[in-house]
Amino acid sequence: MYMEAKNVKFTYMVGSPFEKTALQNINLTLEPNSYTVLIGHTGSGKSTLIQLFNGLLKPTDGSIQIGNREIKRDTKQKHLYDVRKDVGMVFQYPEHQLFHETILKDVAFGPMNFGMSQEEAEKRAKESLKLVGIEEGLYERSPFDLSGGQMRRVAIAGVLASNPKTLILDEPTAGLDPQGKEDIMELFYKWYEVSEERSIILVTHHMEDAAKYGDQLIVLEQGGIHLTGTPKEVFLQGDRLRKTGLSQPETVRLLESLKDKSKGHIDTLKFHLNET
């Protein structure tokens, strides 16, 4: 789904003594069927930007285009709700939001909330649970009986079940072990590459994931866009990146030796930041 930010500014608590401009002069285009990675220090504006892209926040100035909808300062709440059907959000530690008595009910909750019948929602829920690798024998169990990694998968299935066109992932692997991290990242990629309708926006501190999966990297700094381009273009500007504390010399060297990323060839992009 095409998404764009046009001259976006966002200020928290306008008119109060705590007024804080979190983003300004943001101009960005997210092409349909693209994998965008947002990087930047804490406080650089990443969460604010993703909340603008899923209709949780409205810009103070400028506009956000999401598919054929435009969100401005005065956009009505109902239109923001419509946007949320198309843009799914996996928050950090999404398993903290599980609450139903069974796994199946939990996963079906999202689509039902968006107006789907129970039958249809459960069908979608089962498809999503299969995709994230939760066995059928567990569907009637409580999500709280599961391991941490499995709970995360159930929570992710809950977002996928609503059939979003764009998926926003905010540090989705936080707290998982290395294998669990890789499995979850691959799962999202699998979801993404199945259909040309789908896009991903990933917020991460993992440069290897940024390079491996991203078509486009956006580096935010103090509420503005510091750098943007393909992973190769961005990492090759290592000097500017290092100033933000985000890169290491070997990243630059490794990226220089990499082929251009193309879908289906992501294995060629596997590398490790700290190996020389």
Near ligand ADP by CB under 6 A: residue from 8, 26, 37, 46: 46
86 to 145, contacts with ligand ADP by CB under 6 A? none
Task: Give the angle subtended at the CA of 147 by the CAs of 146 and 153, to the nearest 5°.
Answer: 80
Q: What one-letter code names the amino acid at 201? A: I
* Residue with smaller CB distance to ligand ADP, 33 or 47: 47
Only segment of 42-50, 63-71, 93-101, 159-167 that touches ligand ADP (CB under 6 A)? 42-50
Near ligand ADP by CB under 6 A: residue from 45, 62, 111, 238: 45
Give me the least distance between CB of 232 and ligand ADP, in Å please: 24
CA–CA distance, 137 with 127 (Å, rounded to integer) = 14
Near ligand ADP by CB under 6 A: residue from 42, 179, 195, 276: 42
What is the torsional sign of CA 181, 186, 191, 192? positive
Give me the least distance between CB of 18 and ligand ADP, in Å please: 6
Nearest to 1 by CA among 38, 25, 29: 29
* Residue 174 touches ligand ADP, criterion: CB under 6 A: no
Joined tokens for residue 180: 């669990």
Task: Give the angle subtended at the CA of 242 by the CAs of 24 and 211, to the nearest 5°.
Answer: 85
* Residue with smaller CB distance to ligand ADP, 20 or 76: 20
* Residue 44 touches ligand ADP, criterion: CB under 6 A: yes
C-alpha dihedral over 204, 210, 215, 221, to 10 degrees?
Answer: 60
Number of residues that bind ligand ADP (CB under 6 A): 12
User: From the CB of residue 84, how many other CB atoms can be counted at a distance below 10 Å?
Assistant: 17
* Residue 43 touches ligand ADP, criterion: CB under 6 A: yes
Only segment of 43-51, 81-89, 182-190, 232-240 that touches ligand ADP (CB under 6 A)? 43-51
Edge-first strand listing for the sheet containing 20-30: 20-30, 3-12, 61-66, 69-71
Which parts of this chain interact with ligand ADP (CB under 6 A)?
Answer: 12-13, 20, 22, 40, 42-48
